[in-house]
Structure 1
Amino acid sequence: MSSYRSLRRNHDFGVLWVAQTVSEVGSRASLFVFPLVAYALTGSTGLAAAAEATYLLGLAGALLPAGPLVDRVDPRRVMRSASAAGALLYASLVAALLAHALTAPHLLLVALLTGAASGLFGPAEAKAVRAVVPAEDLPTALSQNQARLHLATLLSAPAGGLMYAAARWVPFAADAVSFAFSWVLLGRLRTDLTAPAGRSRRSPRQDLAEGLRFVWSRPLFRTLAVWGPLSNLTINALFFAAILRLINGGFDAVHIGLVEATAGAAGIVGAVLAPWVLDRVPTGWLTVAVAWAFLPLVAPMAVWNHPAVVAAALGTGMLLNPAGNTGMSSYRLARTPPELVGRVQASTQFLAMAALPLSPVLAGTLLSLLGGPAAIAVLGGCSGLVALIPTLSRHVRTVPRPSAWAAAEPAAVPAAA
């Protein structure tokens, strides 16, 4: 595992990883608490759901403008600005709660703006990672970032629940501290991340169009841009339907919470194993395997409505997911010109997230119309149809192992139409 040893000696990657890990755990804990606080304030389940939806709206809304921004300015400034904004916004919730003056509009505004801060941070971090990590170490670096996400999933709900039980303001105070810590740590980055001098000063809209044109001009990137949102829609709807069945079946919150914890634990294991898997399986065929990984798990979930079955299915499906995400994400970064990384990353993240809000709607509609087993079966069939997209794509299947592409030159930027 020479890549692990290399990354341990990479000061700037360590700074990025620690800063965002602390902030990610805090943010997800606060995201878990947002609906609880909203419900306590208003007694409305609609506003409780709106708190989380507003955060996701801010996140998605900031992604596209974030791309041109981080390709124009030093991404370190963007990340530190986002961290400072998060610290101040969460501190405002703490102050309002301590003064017994928190209102629903204040809570929703903070949810929207902190989501936007996360949307700005993501592409900036991707550009920074691309700059500080050698191409041959990108798969291992991104697998460690995948582990960070699953670690946050594993820890955030229990941590958020415990802090909320202590006092409503405690989770937000912890998140304000985590963002302040991130701001301080990001100031220790040593690599010069400033944009190259002499760039033409076009409008942000032209810059964004250039990034989207680059994604659409590359057959592989175009295929992934179509497959990503459809896969996220069907797989998330499948497991949302399974969770709704558990709720309807009368299972308590503790047992249902263990399903998400199992997914987080399986994701961490998968992220640790990802570099080993990537060294042995061609990235294209690994992506195809990930696309089909959840389909064999549909039958047991349709037959048995039990937390242990859903947890086993979700955990099994998640084992290969970090390796698949890491492989294609690393290849995409390695094949993207440095001056386009922010825009390409923002565009692909936005497209991947675009259909996510429809997942609960699709799951709930199918459950009400068809019932549990049939809804699970239909969503499984949809996931199989979506899996055909990368399977039938020669551009996906022929992506080799990282050893064959890590040193490749980035793709050329397409000329403007």
Structure 2
Amino acid sequence: MSSYRALSRNHDFTVLWIGQTISEVGSRMSMFVFPLVTFALTGSVLLAAAAEALHLLGVAGALLPAGVLADRRDRRRIMRAASAVGVLLYASLAGAGIAGTLTVPHLLVVALLTGVGAGLFAPAELSAVRAVVPTDQLPTALSQHQARLHVAALVSAPLGGVLLGIARWLPFAVDAASYLASWVLLGRLRADLSPTPYDGPRRRPGHDLVEGARFVWSRPFFRVLTIWGPLTNLMVNALFFVAVLRLISGGSSALQIGLVEAIAGVAGIVGAVLAPWLIDRVPTGRLTVLIAWSFLPLVVPMALWPEPLVVAAALGLGMLLNPAGNAGIGSYRVAITPPALVGRVQATSQFASMSTMPFAPVLAGTLLTTLGGTAATLTLGLLTAAVALIPTLSASVRSVPRPAAWDVCAAPAAA
């Protein structure tokens, strides 16, 4: 708990965390509402799914250039600009809703552009965290980042449903207000978030982008994670989709399915609270391997008993270790990356991890249709086990020590 108290005294991190928690709740609420509003306007399931797909496409498309920008320009200005654009975009939806002129193309354009804004924001935010948080507090800082994501996931859907029940435009107005709060709080940051000064020859953006990717690929640990991350995201998300689709086809109510997601969200918050303790005591390499296998014991009950309580318990147990894994890997990545490369390395890693996520629903639906529920779940379990072998068999992953010894690893990376 002392690490939490020390971090809470860090004014800039606290301001950044509060502002982005508010904004994250608003953004996730809008992503929950987008498909519902689109379906209400058109009756098309395909168009309803297109909103979230376009948002993810916007995020992925912006990440790599955003990494270059975060290493070249003031991170505070980048984050405030992204927040300001979010205010305008969601206010436009709220205004159109009040005027009775809200259209599906308007919704889809906003979904895409807010995804671009989120992609621009992410590398700048991590670079800012690296600038305001000491290295020994990075695991706690990124654990709190994980908690923020799970709090937003827990609160956003119920809040969006309540606001949507009052007025179709109200969730968008509240999201615009959340972006405004983020913009105001970002203006209160005290630290200098400008990148490291550069006095060399003129650089081209493409060269900078390649430099970040080359750094990632030249480090065996990063290289293994760049392969393992997108594959494990694909399998675990497909498992989640299969579980939810089986509940829907089995006649479970929306309330029961919401309960499953709520329990997973609570487990994620608990896991984020425990994450600093785990990261300090378990070598990061072993923790990574443990995370890789953590969902495997839960596959059998999910396959054999597709009931809401069983699925909720399985997903909840799986989510307990997830924040520690994400925070531990993320903290190590930031700690051993030279400050001038943090934005590009983060963008490259996040882009790789997200690259397969749009295919998870497709994989889940295909396996469920061709194999049936039990076989689809077990097949995904076997694929998850095969993917887990990637970090397990890698000496560069298994050998990563606890945070106290990260300085030894950081020296060669800085060189």
Provide the TM-score with structure 2 as the length reference: 0.98
Three-state SS of the structure 2 residue aligned to 1:102 is coil
Contact 1:275 1:323 (8 Å CA) reproduced = yes
Deviations 1:160-201 (A, max 9, x none): 111111111111011100101100110111111112332543
Residue aligning to 1:400: 401
**Displacement, 1:107?**
0.7
Residue aligning to 1:47: 47
Residue aligning to 1:98: 98
The structure-2 alpha-carbon separation of the partners of 1:199 and 1:147, relative to structure 1 and needing over 3 Å to count, comes to farther
**Displacement, 1:398?**
0.9
Deviations 1:118-157 (A, max 9, x none): 0111110000000000000000000000000000011111
The structure-2 alpha-carbon separation of the partners of 1:96 and 1:133, relative to structure 1 and needing over 3 Å to count, comes to same
CA distance in 1, matches of 2:408, 2:96: 52
CA distance in 2, matches of 1:118, 1:199: 31
1:248-267 alignment to 2 at 5 Å?
248-267=249-268
Contact 2:338 2:413 (8 Å CA) reproduced = yes
Residue aligning to 1:88: 88
Residue aligning to 1:108: 108
Contact 2:196 2:339 (8 Å CA) reproduced = no
Which residue identity does 2:246 align to in structure 1?
A: R
**Displacement, 1:230?**
0.1
CA distance in 2, matches of 1:181, 1:342: 24
Task: Answer yes or no: is 1:213 the counterpart of 2:218.
Answer: no
Residue aligning to 2:335: 334
CA distance in 2, matches of 1:196, 1:345: 16
The structure-2 alpha-carbon separation of the partners of 1:244 and 1:235, relative to structure 1 and needing over 3 Å to count, comes to same
Which residue identity does 1:6 align to in structure 2?
A: A
Deviations 1:306-327 (A, max 9, x none): 0111110000000011111111
Deviations 1:59-103 (A, max 9, x none): 111111101011000111110000000000000001101111111
Three-state SS of the structure 2 residue aligned to 1:31 is helix
**Displacement, 1:409?**
3.6
CA distance in 2, matches of 1:334, 1:68: 19
1:15-414 alignment to 2 at 5 Å?
15-197=15-197, 198-405=199-406, 409=410, 411-412=412-413
What number of residue pairs does the alignment pair up? 414
Q: Which runs of 5+ in 2 are unaligned?
A: none
Contact 2:54 2:108 (8 Å CA) reproduced = yes
CA distance in 2, matches of 1:42, 1:92: 20
CA distance in 2, matches of 1:271, 1:320: 8
Three-state SS of the structure 2 residue aligned to 1:150 is helix
Q: Report the RMSD for the aligned CA atoms in angstroms.
A: 1.1
User: Following TM superposition, where does structure 1 have runs of at least 4 consecutive aligned residues deviating by more than 6 angstroms?
Assistant: none
**Displacement, 1:403?**
1.4
CA distance in 2, matches of 1:199, 1:377: 55
CA distance in 2, matches of 1:305, 1:328: 32
Contact 1:32 1:157 (8 Å CA) reproduced = yes
Contact 2:336 2:414 (8 Å CA) reproduced = no
Contact 2:241 2:361 (8 Å CA) reproduced = yes
Contact 1:127 1:342 (8 Å CA) reproduced = yes
CA distance in 1, matches of 2:291, 2:70: 31
**Displacement, 1:413?**
6.3
The structure-2 alpha-carbon separation of the partners of 1:72 and 1:132, relative to structure 1 and needing over 3 Å to count, comes to same
Three-state SS of the structure 2 residue aligned to 1:72 is coil
CA distance in 2, matches of 1:28, 1:304: 30
CA distance in 2, matches of 1:104, 1:88: 18
**Displacement, 1:408?**
5.6
Contact 2:4 2:140 (8 Å CA) reproduced = yes
CA distance in 2, matches of 1:239, 1:278: 26
Contact 1:28 1:153 (8 Å CA) reproduced = yes
Three-state SS of the structure 2 residue aligned to 1:202 is coil
CA distance in 1, matches of 2:284, 2:52: 34
Provide the TM-score with structure 1 as the length reference: 0.98
CA distance in 1, matches of 2:412, 2:178: 37
CA distance in 2, matches of 1:201, 1:100: 51
**Displacement, 1:379?**
0.2
Deviations 1:244-295 (A, max 9, x none): 1111101111101111111110000000011111121111111111100000
CA distance in 2, matches of 1:45, 1:410: 52
Which sits farther off after the overlay, 198-207 or 72-81? Answer: 198-207
Three-state SS of the structure 2 residue aligned to 1:316 is helix
Three-state SS of the structure 2 residue aligned to 1:368 is helix
Three-state SS of the structure 1 residue aligned to 2:38 is helix
CA distance in 2, matches of 1:219, 1:31: 36
Contact 1:133 1:141 (8 Å CA) reproduced = yes
Percent identical among aligned pairs is 67
Contact 1:284 1:396 (8 Å CA) reproduced = yes
Deviations 1:394-415 (A, max 9, x none): 111111111121576454468x
Which sits farther off after the overlay, 196-205 or 120-129? Answer: 196-205
Contact 1:214 1:413 (8 Å CA) reproduced = no
Contact 1:334 1:410 (8 Å CA) reproduced = no
